[in-house]
Amino acid sequence: MNSTEIKQLFKSFAEMKVLIIGDVMIDAYFIGKVERISPEAPVPVVAVTKKENRLGGAANVALNIQSMGATPILCSVVGDDENAKVLSSLLKKSKMREDGILRRKSRTTTVKTRVIGGQHQMLRIDEEMDQDLNPKDTADFLKNIKSILQKERVNAIVFEDYDKGAINQELIQEVIAIAKAKKIPVAVDPKHRHFNAYKGVSLFKPNRREFEHGLKSDFVLDQQHALFLAVSKFQRKQNIETMLVTLSESGMLVSHKNKLEKIPAHIRSIADVSGAGDTVISVATLCLAGGLSPLNMLRIANLAGGLVCEHVGVVPIDKKQLLEETLKIKFTE
């Protein structure tokens, strides 16, 4: 890829629509200073100076898609509660459509509250329920997704699975079947519960820990050959077109058509890894929809994941910064 092709790729994102299906949540922050230890227990006291709510989970993927210039269509099921109102307010503030969001009294809107002291996360408090959707909610959710897919020209679908219940096996199978019929590429950011349910997808992006958990096997990072073999075997079994496995500070690997490549992580000033996986799947999906080769997709997604780690908290990628950094990469194909 030359600079003209890279700029054209980034420009093409503005014409894309991406359907994101998964568990949305609110990332709440209490930010302050730590200057003393509590007299009640040996814990630091955070003097809160700022409170903030941000879109998280699948909604953070939607934010990353939007930050790259594309149009996200977010689909999820949340509670019919006060936190759902906060979520709605955040979506409106971000100028993001809400027609894919269903509110149900049977559900709880997920909130992850992080306490930040200085530049460090001190504590996280989770409010959530993680049971799969009941049959009625599943049917309503599928009906809504199908309606959107009938009305919209969607360039890619992302399953953003956080094991909070919005995604179940029936939903996975139905949506993949529709995507195949419409020739829409499907990308997956999996968790543990339905790890083996995604068959015949275009892109499957677990991190190393998720991959090990899914296979119920551990891989020592210096035993690269064993890891490569396991990735290839799983890919064939699941009929996955491209596998992308993130390896934290050891980089990423991609497997496509019996060819595996591993690239090192970009050395960045890491402040917080929260949300990096959301950025990687977002950028990789757009590159996939843009027709990039798996290796070039990996290079750009790897760079994007490193850039967001420079910020404290969950933040979307900066398209301008990513473009500037991408133009510095020496692409060999």
- Checking if the pLDDT of 329 tops 50, the result is yes
- In this predicted structure, what is the pLDDT of residue 221? 47
Task: Provide the sign of the torsion angle of the four alpha carbons 278, 279, 285, 288, taken in this order.
Answer: negative
Confidence of residue 42 (pLDDT cuts 50, 70, 90): very high
- Mean pLDDT computed over every residue of the chain: 89
- Checking if the pLDDT of 266 tops 70, the result is no
- In this predicted structure, what is the pLDDT of residue 271? 43
- In this predicted structure, what is the pLDDT of residue 315? 65
| Lowest mean pLDDT across 86-100, 144-158, 180-194, 213-227 | 213-227
Read off the pLDDT of each residue in 89-94 and give the average, rounded to a whole number: 96
Total-model pTM = 0.90
Confidence of residue 316 (pLDDT cuts 50, 70, 90): confident
SS3 3: helix
Q: Kindly give the pairing relationship between strand 120-127 and strand 156-160.
A: unpaired
Higher-scoring residue by pLDDT: 67, 263 = 67
- Checking if the pLDDT of 284 tops 80, the result is yes
Q: Closest Cα to residue 194, out of 174, 210, 217?
A: 210
Question: Which of the residues are catalytic?
Answer: 278
Higher-scoring residue by pLDDT: 292, 263 = 292
- Checking if the pLDDT of 327 tops 70, the result is yes
| Lowest mean pLDDT across 121-125, 254-258, 329-333 | 329-333
- Checking if the pLDDT of 87 tops 60, the result is yes
Confidence of residue 262 (pLDDT cuts 50, 70, 90): confident
| Lowest mean pLDDT across 17-21, 81-85, 116-120, 222-226 | 222-226
Distance, in Å, from the CA atom of 241 to the CA atom of 222, rounded to the nearest integer, reads 26
**Alpha helix (H) residue ranges in the chain:** 3-12, 58-67, 82-93, 135-151, 169-182, 208-215, 224-238, 276-289, 294-308, 319-326
**Alpha helix (H) residue ranges in 157-223:** 169-182, 208-215
Superfamily of domain 3-26+57-108+129-326: Ribokinase (3.40.1190.20)
